[in-house]
Structure 1
Amino acid sequence: MSSGSDSEEEFPVYDFLQAGRRGSQANRAADLVFLDSSDTDVASLSSLPAAEPAAAAGVPSVDVMMLSSDSEEEAPYVPLARRLKQRQAVVSIVRNANDSHRSPPCYPQQPLPVQTGVTAAEERTALKSWPPPTTLTASTAGTSKACPAKSTVAGQSIKTGREEVNRRDRGDKENRKVELERQKAERKAQQEAAKALRPEECIKHMVVVVDPGLVLLEGGGSLLTSLQELGCSCAIEKQPLPRSISWLRRAPSQQIGEESSVPEAHVVIQMTADDFIALVHNYSQEQRHGKTGQGPGLSCWVQELQTRNPGRIISLAVVDLEKHYRAQKAHGQKRGGGAKRSRKPQAEPPPDVSRVDVEEAVVHLQLHTGVQVRFLAAWKDFSDHIAMTTKAIAEAPFKHDRDNTGFSFCLESEWAGGQKVDRLGKGLLQVWKRQIQQLNRVSPDMASAILGAYPSPQLLKQAYRGCRTDRERTSLLSELLIRRGEGVTATSRRVGPELSRRLHLLLSSEDAQQTLDSTA
């Protein structure tokens, strides 16, 4: 055969080849499975036969059997559906191996569409794009939600826990901050309150409340001027007691810039001489003659005020009482001297009240009610009395705290600080004097007399050692002269044996339980 006539020559036909060819085509037709895209729900891949070992191992297969002159044997034909099933089995094996390391997203199971008449290139393209992207429907949404990643749930729990801890920490910090601010405000209020009680600051926090009826009297202007010079505040308000003066103390509050006013218990009532004499006259009539119809006496009137104002410490201030005595004396002189009759109507004579009657009424008032009465000569004296009372009320809390030391005895203010002694010994003389004054019933004049004779304890002990008997030692200081006052009013007396004996025991006794006072 020549090469030029290959296309025109016809190969011989053998019957055994035709029979084999027809048999292979029949087998192939029997093995093929035709699927339509509309039957994907019915013809699933689960109904396909299991993959052969050769296909599962990745042995390539062809969809068309080719004959060549080199091989006379016929290769087995594998349908497309079976090969896709084998490829799906391989993909499943790979996925199961990867699931042990990570959790892949859950894809819904969908059957692979199988079409007939596809080429090898189209098959490879379909395999590369498997699995196809799917859209979650109502049926597949539940499957997707049922497969959340464990790491996402754990991360969300950790995030929620951290937010809760941070929120709790912020709340604790805010509470601590509020508590610190409250404590700081309390400390500041306590410091301001302690500062307000000092003698140089307390008068600035006092408010004097004056009744308007008292301001309209003769001495109202001088009273306001005196209070202004004192440095305190003044308020004019209607008072429950007529012509009275009360006090308020401004105390610092915990709120910044705010103050609270605390009322004081003291109240001073100003009384004219005529009103006071009328009350004393009624009291005298009750005590002497038993007459009670003219009006209440001084004690009854004050008791009624105390009943209407419980908790108040009332005191009375009577201005110009001598005016009554002068008018009473003038009336007596006119009546006894036979004065000529005049056409002018005569004034009503003042009540017949003597100084003794006034003293008896005041003593009875103090014993039964505890109310003090202060007699003042003029309105200027009344203004000074109110200013002095204001200062005493302002300094009362400070003095009370200072004297409340917890000791059964009270020391003077100059004793509390001690006596300062410098390096040269200046001040030792005053120390020795104070040691002597610590003894009971020893006045500064008595200590000065002993100090003049024996300026130091060492000199006094030397004098004791120079005595021969104990009697001489105990009476060594008894003849020392004590001088009191100066000029024509000066007096003198002796130290006496009692003080001399006590001082000797103080310096010589070695018994810690020794009693110095013989009367103890």
Structure 2
Amino acid sequence: MAEVRPPGVAGSRRGRGRGGGPGPRRAPTWEVSDSDTEGAVPAAGERGAAAGERGAAARAPRPERVLRSLVVCVDPAVLEDAGADILMEALGALGCECRIEPQRLARSLQWSRGSPDPSAVPSEVPTEDGQELLLLLLEPQEFLLGVAQLTQVSGLPSSVPWISPENPSCPHLAVIGLDAYLWSPRPSAQQQLENPSVAQQEAAIGWPEVEEALVLLQLLADMDVLLVASWQELSQHVCALTKALAQRPSKQYRDTQAFAFCTAGRWASGQRVTRDGSGLQGVWWRQIRQFNRVSPAVAEAIVTAFPSPRLLQEALTACSSEQERLGLLADLPVNAQGGRPRRVGPDLSRRICLFLSTTNPDLLLDLGS
């Protein structure tokens, strides 16, 4: 049987002992000894496949590089507010490109990917559902008028503010200072005389109506509303959103890859598995080592008695009682070099038995953790 040992136990050691000073440290990886019948040198096909995987990993976009290629297009109307300088400084410090360009929606921000050609139009950055990403900035008065349109009709409204047939994109909304505006004094008598309908609508809206409108916007148009107290808070949100867009390609690439612990006929986190299945016993040994307080000698004893999980499952199924099943591995002898005879013990036997037989995903295996 293949002997799997942690680095430093077999053959040679990296670095010197305590008397000779510390040697160079390396990442903890598992190695297969030279006596392993599986062979220490992968086949040519495996080397080519592994090189292909490494090349694909190297081609995965790095968030820093994607961030430098992102372009945040800001509508010129945003700059009319004195607090817009805070937003522009934050975007400049972030490292992405910021362009002042008229947008389809006034007072809006749009994210796009830059192009090597300065004269080319940058491509839009879509959201997860494929729509372009827009952030529309609203004044509190404008947002409250939309709230009145949503909440002061019987039944569900037929249309949603800020969305028109000419512009089917569903923007994200950001309102600065809404809470302070709602707590401020209501329109004066002069303002009510100048625009009585608007003043009456604003006077009839409070936080209950705002919360109702937020729910309606989420249900009817899947529209998110960001309520911030200042331009500083808005800048933090915009920068966080830009960083998330830069990290999304690498996360999407990582999600398409196989899990690190899955074996695909090649390397599995340091354990080589060939196409004919050689090396799976080493993977089984490493899986047992993942349990708490399991030494290499204990894992070796279990793998020697049951070389595969299927064999252990069949033995557990053949047990006549629950007590026999939980204690199946308890009396297995452990070959502890230079120490007194040991056995696997009832605690680990119970944990491995439950791990292979339970149907409860929330079961706590280790009572001592």
The TM tier, using the shorter chain, reads 0.5 to 0.7
Q: Which amino acid aligns with 1:398?
A: S
1:417-444 residue CA offsets vs partner (Å, 9 max, x unmatched): 97579xxxxxxxxx9999479xxxxxxx
Aligned to 2:14: none
SS at match of 1:353: coil
Alignment counterpart, residue 325 of structure 1, candidates 182, 192, 210: 182
Q: Which amino acid aligns with 1:267?
A: L
SS at match of 2:292: helix
Query: What is the alpha-carbon root mean square deviation over aligned residues?
Result: 4.7
Q: Which amino acid aligns with 1:323?
A: A
1:31-69 residue CA offsets vs partner (Å, 9 max, x unmatched): xxxxxxxxxxxxxxxxxxxxxxxxxxxxxxxxxxxxxxx
- CA–CA distance in structure 1, aligned partners of residues 210 and 158 of structure 2: 10
Aligned to 2:122: 261
Aligned to 1:316: 173
Q: Which amino acid aligns with 1:281?
A: A
What is the Cα deviation at residue 380 of structure 1? 0.4
- Distance 1:331-1:314 versus aligned 2 partners, 3 A rule: closer
- CA–CA distance in structure 2, aligned partners of residues 219 and 435 of structure 1: 56
SS at match of 1:270: strand
- CA–CA distance in structure 2, aligned partners of residues 237 and 381 of structure 1: 23
Alignment counterpart, residue 215 of structure 2, candidates 358, 363, 388: 363
- Indicate if the aligned counterparts of 2:60 and 2:250 stay in contact, CA closer than 8 A: no
Long gaps (5+) in structure 1: 1-190, 291-296, 333-341, 422-430, 438-446, 478-494, 506-515
- Indicate if the aligned counterparts of 1:273 and 1:320 stay in contact, CA closer than 8 A: yes
Aligned to 1:451: 292
SS at match of 2:208: helix
- Indicate if the aligned counterparts of 1:241 and 1:269 stay in contact, CA closer than 8 A: yes
Q: Which amino acid aligns with 2:207?
A: R
Question: Does 1:391 find its partner at 2:255?
Answer: no
- Indicate if the aligned counterparts of 2:66 and 2:246 stay in contact, CA closer than 8 A: yes
Aligned to 1:285: 152
Q: What aligned pairs does 1:193-208 form with structure 2 within 5 A after superposition?
A: 197-208=61-72
Query: Highest CA radius of gyration, 1 or 2?
Result: 1
Aligned to 2:203: 351
Given the two structures, how large is their TM-score scaled by the length of structure 1? 0.39
- Distance 1:260-1:361 versus aligned 2 partners, 3 A rule: closer
- Indicate if the aligned counterparts of 1:210 and 1:246 stay in contact, CA closer than 8 A: yes
- CA–CA distance in structure 2, aligned partners of residues 205 and 451 of structure 1: 45
SS at match of 1:278: helix
- Indicate if the aligned counterparts of 2:111 and 2:133 stay in contact, CA closer than 8 A: yes
- Indicate if the aligned counterparts of 2:72 and 2:99 stay in contact, CA closer than 8 A: yes
Alignment counterpart, residue 300 of structure 1, candidates 160, 166, 175: 160
Q: What aligned pairs does 1:483-494 form with structure 2 within 5 A after superposition?
A: none
Q: What aligned pairs does 1:69-88 form with structure 2 within 5 A after superposition?
A: none
Aligned to 2:80: 216
What is the Cα deviation at residue 213 of structure 1? 0.9
- Distance 1:346-1:316 versus aligned 2 partners, 3 A rule: closer
SS at match of 1:451: coil
- Distance 1:324-1:259 versus aligned 2 partners, 3 A rule: closer
Alignment counterpart, residue 274 of structure 1, candidates 127, 138, 141: 141
SS at match of 2:106: coil
Q: Which amino acid aligns with 1:279?
A: G
- Distance 1:206-1:287 versus aligned 2 partners, 3 A rule: same
- Distance 1:284-1:504 versus aligned 2 partners, 3 A rule: closer
- Indicate if the aligned counterparts of 1:433 and 1:451 stay in contact, CA closer than 8 A: no
Aligned to 1:15: none
SS at match of 1:301: coil
1:469-520 residue CA offsets vs partner (Å, 9 max, x unmatched): 751255569xxxxxxxxxxxxxxxxx9xx97644245xxxxxxxxxx7489x
Aligned to 2:336: none
- Structure with the bigger percentage of helix: 1
What is the Cα deviation at residue 207 of structure 1? 1.4
What is the Cα deviation at residue 215 of structure 1? 1.1
Q: Which amino acid aligns with 2:292?
A: L
Alignment counterpart, residue 382 of structure 1, candidates 234, 237, 246: 234
1:249-300 residue CA offsets vs partner (Å, 9 max, x unmatched): 12447xxx98762122111001122221221122221137x9xxxxxx7952
- CA–CA distance in structure 2, aligned partners of residues 436 and 272 of structure 1: 60
- Indicate if the aligned counterparts of 1:316 and 1:371 stay in contact, CA closer than 8 A: yes
Long gaps (5+) in structure 2: 1-54, 126-131, 193-198, 262-266, 272-282, 307-311, 329-346, 362-369
- CA–CA distance in structure 2, aligned partners of residues 273 and 320 of structure 1: 7
- Indicate if the aligned counterparts of 1:280 and 1:298 stay in contact, CA closer than 8 A: no
Instruction: Please say which of residues 223-232 and 375-384 is displaced more in the overlay.
Output: 375-384
- Indicate if the aligned counterparts of 1:298 and 1:365 stay in contact, CA closer than 8 A: no
- Distance 1:392-1:504 versus aligned 2 partners, 3 A rule: closer
Aligned to 2:323: 472
- Distance 1:458-1:223 versus aligned 2 partners, 3 A rule: same
Identity among equivalent positions (%) equals: 27
What is the Cα deviation at residue 238 of structure 1? 1.3
Aligned to 2:103: 239
